[in-house]
Amino acid sequence: MNGVRFNIVIRYKLPPKASSDVSLSSYRALAEFRHQIRLFLHFSEEAARQAGIEPQQHQLLLAIKGIPIGTQPTIGRIAERLQLRHHSAVELVNRLTEHDAIVRETNPDDGREVRLRLTRTGERLLLKLSIAHHNELEKAGPALRDALDAVLQLSRKKP
């Protein structure tokens, strides 16, 4: 392609065999795991839309509320956690600010840093969605766990 090299990064740990020797059962296990993930993600996307927001907006609310201890919910950190470009995270924040779901607050110790905080509206919205997600995981969790277990068991087998 006009001298351009493409490098593909393999993100999954393949069984300890040569990558050209993947068994049919490994493909099936990976396909089932991917299917189970997609079923849950589809549920999540639809739940967010039914609540009146876009799926990435729900993810942003959850990222703010669930930020690891010792980490501040800044746009940069939220962008990293959601694997978004900074300007995309800013746009999501703008939309959620318009929905009165989050606010920006200047760090009193460092006026250059802006933190994100959920409003009461955002808290209620996230609570509603989180309850729905927990309920769905009660139903879908066993199939997702079993699919992951099957992939992991195959990856532990010796060549």
Q: For residue 138, what is the domain's CATH number?
A: 1.10.10.10
Question: What tokens appear for 45 in the block?
Answer: 């996307």
- Whether residue 12 is contained in a domain is answered as no
- Whether residue 5 is contained in a domain is answered as no
Question: What tokens appear for 61 in the block?
Answer: 């609310």
- Whether residue 116 is contained in a domain is answered as yes
Domain count, the chain: 1
Does the pLDDT at position 119 exceed 90? yes
Mean pLDDT within 17-39: 85
Q: Provide DSSP, 11-23.
A: -S---SS-TT---
- Whether residue 101 is contained in a domain is answered as yes
Give the residues across from 103 on adjacent strands: 117
What does pTM read for this prediction? 0.80
158 pLDDT band (50/70/90 cuts)?
very low
- State which residues form the domain around 40: 24-156
pLDDT reported for residue 55? 96
- Whether residue 99 is contained in a domain is answered as yes
- Whether residue 62 is contained in a domain is answered as yes
11 pLDDT band (50/70/90 cuts)?
low
- Whether residue 82 is contained in a domain is answered as yes
